[in-house]
Chain A
Amino acid sequence: MTLDDALARLDTAEADARAAVAGAGSLAALDDVEREWLKARTSPVSAVNESIKTFAPDERPRAGQAVGAYRSAVGDAVATRRAELEAEAAAHRGPGLDLTLGGHGRRRGHLHLVTQIRRELEDIFVGLGYRVAEGPEVEDDWHNFEALNIPPAHPARSMQDTIYVDLGFAEQMMLRTHTSPVQIRTMETQAPPIYVVAPGRTYRNETLDARHSPAFHQMECLAVDRGLTMADLFGTIEAFARMLFDDESVRTRFRSDFFPYTEPSAELAVSCVFCGGAGCRVCSHTGWIELGGCGMVDPNVFEKVGIDPDVWQGFAFGFGLERIAMIRYGINEIRTFFDNDVRFLEQY
């Protein structure tokens, strides 16, 4: 092939290629045309390129330029035609896949609300430097009552209140009536200083209904250190309540109360987070929400676990997890937590 042959061939080919491009009725046909006239080994470009090395050196640039011109001309035509065809396709495109059908139906699950509250509380106390302590749900008299300074005739020990288990021997074991025995177990096994919380399940001898449940959940806090004071107790409760309700304006109120294992003892309430203390339905128009009880660890309790009350002081408090959830979400029946209706479980 001479240079002239090559130039002529490219000229003809360009005209034919343009015709073919114009005649391509679909994107697939255009792809075929593009391959035939630009990309394939059999395309005019390949044939000319093959010949270029046989040309005289001074002819080669012209040949190269001609190939370049052909490429850009045909390439432009293809691009223009492709745009036309794509526009045409877009104009005629159907509705496509309906992604609103949903997916394959895979859904995330849900932690139970009590678990969510428990984790939240654990995390707050972990942030305050506490560890999470645990103890058995079936307890002996020593840990559930005796070491907590609860005397043998105390009403809490009655069969009406406490679920006892029968293990076939004389000593009565029971399902713990509070998480406080974990305090005892912790102090028996760990020397002070102690900073722990003990979330867990507790039991009362009641039948499940709207307001009662044989099982529910509490969280206990115990701190034992040199020089801990009631101000430390109140401050810790206030700090925790503010985190829990995510509200720095929450105030705490303490009133004298009685528990056998703390002295002084107090009932603890927080300002109503719904009305700010002005009074609303949630707080029964008192402005305050009672959360639980608290106090300084009674020296008798320290003595029972072999901790010197002249050296160590401590505080403890406890409250119900369901109660916190009930307050926060307006749940009015404790039974809701244990029915496990998926509509409830999936709401949280």
Chain B
Amino acid sequence: MRAPLSWIRDFTPVEAPVDELVHALNQLGLEVDAVEAPGREVLGVRVARILDVVPHPNADKLRLADVDFGDGQTRVVCGAPNIVPGMVVPFAPSGATLPGGFTLERRKIRGEVSDGMLCSAKELGLGDDHSGILALDPAAELGSDVRSVLGLDDVIFDLAITPNRPDAMCIVGVARELAAHFGLPFTVPEPVVPRDAGPTATVPVIIEAPDRCPRYLAWTAAVTLGPAPAWMQQRLVKAGIRSIGNVVDVTNYVLLELNQPLHAFDLDRLAGPGIVVRLAADGEQVTTLDGVERTLDATDLLICDGARAPQAVAGIMGGGDSEVSDTTARILLESAYFERMGIARSSKRLKLRSESSARFERGIDPDGVARAAARAMELLVEVAGARVAADLVDEYPQPVARPRIHLRTSKVNGVLGTALSDTEVLDALAPLGIEVSGAGDEIEAVPPTFRPDLEREIDLVEEVARRVGFDAIGRTVPKPEHQVGGLSHRQVDRRVAADALVGAGLAEAVTIPLVAPEAAARFSEETPVQVANPLRSEESVLRPTLLPGLAAAAAHNAARGQGDVGLFEMGRVFVAPPTPETLPIELESVAGVLVGTVPRTPIETDRPVDVYDAVDLVRTVTDALGIAAVRLEPAVVPGFDPEASARVYAGERGVGVVGALAPAALAASAVPGPAVAFELDLDALSAAARVDRQFRTPSSYPPSAIDLAFVVDDAVRAAEIGATLRTAAGDLLEDVRCFDEFRGEQLGAGRRSLAFALRFRAPDRTLTNAEVDELRVRCIEAVAAGHGAELRG
């Protein structure tokens, strides 16, 4: 909302410097977005009268104008077509400055001396009109500063008013706040309206939906249409409203001044004449002022004429034959109070917002309706020669009750942490129009009807805070006495997992969880959760896995010449709810992707990333978390190469996947291969069994190491043989590790040799050769029996 200071001063004599005003407004919660001083750059421009206009001897399109600027006369060159002798115009003499920092100098134009220039509206920073020299009020004093004549010596505050403060959406409301803040008098003059019974009459008003329209005031007047006077136009323009004509301008002026939306109907085009306020019929169609045909339903409220024909969508926009036009001679002025939520719902559903609807929605003053109508009539008398009907109709069957609020000084201080006295509390509230009585913890406060936001004690506590200022509140730091701060085990696990992956060289990515359906389908068979109102299809489902996001991040980097990346992400993935009426399942997931080449040169040679790098990353996470019994089982996983992918298990529970990404998935994701990836369910890992942490003294006896190579079918997995060896060897086996894989003709097709290094050690003695031999035999027999293996000689 734009509030010109000159207008504010109509109601309170505020003289503080602009920066103090800005500070005060901000403190009060009327946030100042911008301060404009339209005349700030117009310096030394004066009012002058054109005495004579003669042709320029050397130019067809230029003329010479002799001007009188009060205490002197001079001649300027002018190219504007509209100048005539007698016209009063803005004259910028040499030395004057115009917007943009342009300073005038006396100079020759085509051989003729020009002592300055005459200005268009645009040249003064007043809008875009550059068609001719701006005509000023012929009565303006010659030589005076054009800023005062044009109302440019003003400051405009552009305020961001929060939705709880409808009262501050108008000049009077802003003035009231400033008056309270600076302790100044505040007066809104009572409108004076001369009545005339002659040409006008009262019309019947029937309110069929009183819950939606608690008050409707109709008042008629005969008017003479024409432009509004300059002072009114200037104020409207400064407040950001275009001038249309005296009658409409008056309604807008009162809207800005008093926050009361008004509507003027052409009385002679209202059937009846009369007003019916009724709900629309389902499917009823109305063409609103903006030319759009709108289909209404039974929750929309209409203002109709006596024949029940719609003339306006109540409180939102006009829309009938009775709009004020060039031929209007008599008007019916509507000043009404509509229920807030009804306007809000209709406005939202019709996608139609206006200055009126914005105000009704927030809540105007139900008791201000009559004053606003009177103010409008007062102005119409002044600017449209109105003859105002002696009688008016004011339907207000159920006056809005003002709440009586019990306020405790102890509560004020208890919430704010202050030590305000009763007097300070009462003095804070009274200037806001709140009637206060009593003292201590027995204060009764009755807020004015223009403050619908004040209903409860806490609302008044906030008012006191605003008035005394937040600077008056101290700074203390409370410490919880019932708990110590800390992270949960799961939160710690997440940090541990992330730190482990950072240690393994990966960079953490954070991607947007909204992905394209096809990207989700590439890596998941789950039906993803759909967005109901996506802005684009690329963001129309919630990720069921982190992999689409990581693939997109890898693609983004590849497109910028960074093809070799290692990224991980940790975050929520979403699965559609298993039962209706519940929220989706959200799992905390961690995933990683390695793309391209592992750089090893110059010490070794580069190599492409391979699936074992991804297996290492899985181990990095599970080891960091100390997860027991982690194993991999070959599996077909969407988006992965079926020949090189596995599911990860912790005990019997599946906790994730690992493998090489399938070429098709990579191509579709625009990731140049090769790429390997993993994804783990962190919540499942957090719940999984951990490795035994019971301390055992490390044996100080020497180990005995043996190597065993087995020839087995390809289908037999290394981990299976490892498990068999561990079982067979028992507690004396300290470590077992596969260290070689070999295929060759001599082994036969579909067979391979896997070699294991076993290390035995006893806690209490050196193992004898006989013991080690026995263990060796036991291991060989177990693997032979369990996996059809032959010992390789």
Contact = CB atoms under 8 A, between A and B. Distances in A.
Contacts of B571: 201
Interface stretch (A11-19, A49-57, A163-171): A163-171
B512 A112 contact: no
B479 A128 contact: yes
A122 B566 CA distance: 27
Interface string B531-575: 111111001001000000000010011001010011110111010
Interface size on A, as a range, is: 35 or more
A108 B502 contact: yes
B530 A166 contact: yes
A206 B512 CA distance: 12
A257 interface: yes
Contact of B415 (A112, A137, A230): A230
Interface in B198-229: none
B514 A205 contact: no
B415 A238 contact: no
Nearest to B498: A111
Contacts of B165: 258
Given A153-B341, A239-B477, A255-B27, A119 B495 contact: yes
A229 interface: yes
A48 B354 CA distance: 120
Nearest to A104: B603
A139 B582 CA distance: 10
B327 interface: no
B485 A130 contact: yes
Interface in A65-111: 101-111
Given A126-B487, A225-B478, A230 B465 contact: yes
Nearest to B527: A168
Interface string B568-591: 101110101100110110100000
B470 A266 contact: yes
Interface string A270-299: 000000000000000000000000001011
Interface stretch (B1-9, B69-77, B594-602): B594-602
Interface string A3-33: 0000000000000000000000000000000
B518 interface: no
A111 B567 CA distance: 10
Contacts of A137: 513, 572, 574, 586
Nearest to B348: A153
A215 interface: yes
A122 B510 CA distance: 18
A256 B567 contact: no
Nearest to A298: B458
Contacts of B462: 256, 263-265
Interface string A146-180: 00000111110011000111111101110100000
A115 B602 contact: no
A30 to B, nearest CB: 34
Contacts of B509: 112, 340, 345
Contact of B565 (A105, A171, A342): A342
A307 interface: no
A228 interface: yes
Interface string B391-428: 00000000000000000000000111110000000000
B143 interface: no
A122 B485 CA distance: 10
Interface string A212-225: 01110000000101
A132 interface: yes
B668 interface: no
Contacts of A163: 514, 531-534
Interface in B677-711: none
Contact of B531 (A139, A152, A166, A266): A166
Given A257-B162, A264-B462, A129 B598 contact: no
Interface string B500-519: 01111111111111100000
B542 A115 contact: no
Given A111-B502, A223-B478, A228-B478, A169 B580 contact: yes
Given A165-B532, A299-B458, A232 B477 contact: yes
Q: Which of A126, A163, A252 has the most CB of B within 10 A?
A: A163
B604 A238 contact: no
B416 A230 contact: yes
A105 B485 contact: no
Contacts of B768: none
B486 interface: yes
B461 interface: yes
A188 interface: no
A129 B580 CA distance: 39
Contacts of B482: 193
Contact of A111 (B487, B508, B562): B508
B535 A207 contact: yes
Nearest to A264: B462
A165 B514 contact: no
Contacts of B417: 229-232
B739 to A, nearest CB: 20
Contacts of A245: none
B414 A229 contact: yes
14 contacts: A105-B598, A108-B503, A130-B480, A137-B586, A172-B532, A195-B485, A214-B514, A231-B416, A232-B417, A256-B28, A256-B462, A338-B511, A342-B557, A345-B567
Interface of B: 26-29, 31, 162-165, 341, 344-345, 348, 361, 414-418, 456, 458-459, 461-462, 465-466, 470, 473-488, 491, 495, 498-499, 501-514, 529-536, 539, 542, 553, 556-557, 560, 562, 565-568, 570-572, 574, 576-577, 580-581, 583-584, 586, 598-604
10 closest residue pairs by CB, A with B? A231-B417, A256-B29, A229-B417, A258-B162, A153-B344, A235-B475, A126-B485, A264-B462, A340-B553, A340-B509
Interface of A: 101-112, 114-115, 119, 122, 125-132, 136-140, 151-155, 158-159, 163-169, 171-173, 175, 193, 195, 201, 203, 205-208, 213-215, 223, 225, 227-232, 234-236, 238-239, 252, 254-258, 263-267, 296, 298-299, 313, 337-343, 345-346
